[in-house]
Amino acid sequence: MRQDLGRRQQLCARTDQVASPLAARPYDLRHAAVSLWLNAGVHAPQAAERAGHGVDVMLRVYAKCIDGQRDVANQRIMEALAG
């Protein structure tokens, strides 16, 4: 089935698009986009909706990609507690 998807993508794309190294693994672009959204602070439910899957999948697959947000999260918690 995965080969069929690749073949369909090639049939739907222009020749220069198929020749691009980016076309070799289109899923990599999707993964990069979702990782970017999450690291930019887009909430998981919103990113999941954009990506077309559930929050459970989003967190299971992409949790390891969220990086460098500990300080921001701690600050938000402190602000909420200070009320």
Residue boundaries of the structural domains of the chain:
2-82
> Which among 35, 37, 40, 24 is positioned nearest to 72, based on CA atoms?
40
Distance in angstroms (rounded) separating the CA atoms of residues 62 and 35: 7
Q: Is the pTM of this model over 0.85?
A: no
- The whole-number pLDDT of residue 4 equals 56
pLDDT for position 16? 63
Residues 6, 3: Cα–Cα separation, whole Å: 5
Q: Is the pLDDT of residue 65 over 70?
A: yes
Q: Is the pLDDT of residue 1 over 50?
A: no
